[in-house]
């Protein structure tokens, strides 16, 4: 059973099942040219909120190797923000540190429900990687399932070739399951990692 906070902004209701810290392991399987990456990794994901209409996201992982090597190897860390997609108004802050220019009553469940489509609620996620890669994902959340795909990828000079991705998240029997497909090193979009995480 999942206990959900009662003080969430209305915009977070469809995303509320993600809240918490999740830990577990996953598997990496990816080939490019003659190089094959495979093995197990440990993973920790956190979704939190600070009162705004978005979730704070953070994730870390360590490669455990194909045979459980002695010293885990830290992998790329991520941080970002997840939200429902909606038009911003004069009552929203931004861009940058600019304050709202109008006041408005708090958004309601009816306001959020107006965003629903036959496929679920539109969602967007902005994710920054510790290696200098930035991703903007767009997609859908329908009940306890999220499907997102990159709309844009920006890389710092010197980062490894990476141009797109899709991710799927789902709540199955109290566990957070996810799969991540990537386009990297000139390869077509294909599976590279998946994991099963438990709330801690």
User: In this predicted structure, what is the pLDDT of residue 71?
Assistant: 83
Are residues 23 and 44 in contact, defined by beta-carbon separation less than 8 angstroms? yes
Are residues 180 and 165 in contact, defined by beta-carbon separation less than 8 angstroms? yes
Residue ranges of the domains in the chain?
A: 10-199
pLDDT along the chain (200 residues), means of 10: 67 96 97 93 96 96 80 94 96 95 92 95 98 98 97 96 97 97 96 97
User: In this predicted structure, what is the pLDDT of residue 1?
Assistant: 46
Cα distances (Å, whole numbers) of residue 11 to 25, 34, 120, 145:
30, 46, 14, 17
pTM: 0.93
Third-level CATH fold of 10-199: Lipocalin (2.40.128)
């Amino acid at each position: 059973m999942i206990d959900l906070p009662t003080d969430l902004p209305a915009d977070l209701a469809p995303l509320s099942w993600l809240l918490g810290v999740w830990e577990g392991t996953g598997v990496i399987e990816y080939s490019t040219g003659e190089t094959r990456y495979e093995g197990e990794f440990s993973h920790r994901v956190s979704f939190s909120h600070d009162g705004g209409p978005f979730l704070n996201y953070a994730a870390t992982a360590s490669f455990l190797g194909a045979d459980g090597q002695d010293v885990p190897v830290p992998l790329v860390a991520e941080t970002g923000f997840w939200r429902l997609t909606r038009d911003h108004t004069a009552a929203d802050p931004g861009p940058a540190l600019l304050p709202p220019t109008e006041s408005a009553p708090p958004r309601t469940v009816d306001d959020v429900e107006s965003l629903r489509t036959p496929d679920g609620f539109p969602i967007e996620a902005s994710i920054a990687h510790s290696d200098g890669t930035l991703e903007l994902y767009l997609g859908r959340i329908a009940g306890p399932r999220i499907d997102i795909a990159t709309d844009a990828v920006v890389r710092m000079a010197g980062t490894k070739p990476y141009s797109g991705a899709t991710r799927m998240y789902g709540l199955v029997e109290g566990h957070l399951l996810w799969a991540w497909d990537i386009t990297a090193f000139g390869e077509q979009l294909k599976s590279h990692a998946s994991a099963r995480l438990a709330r801690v």
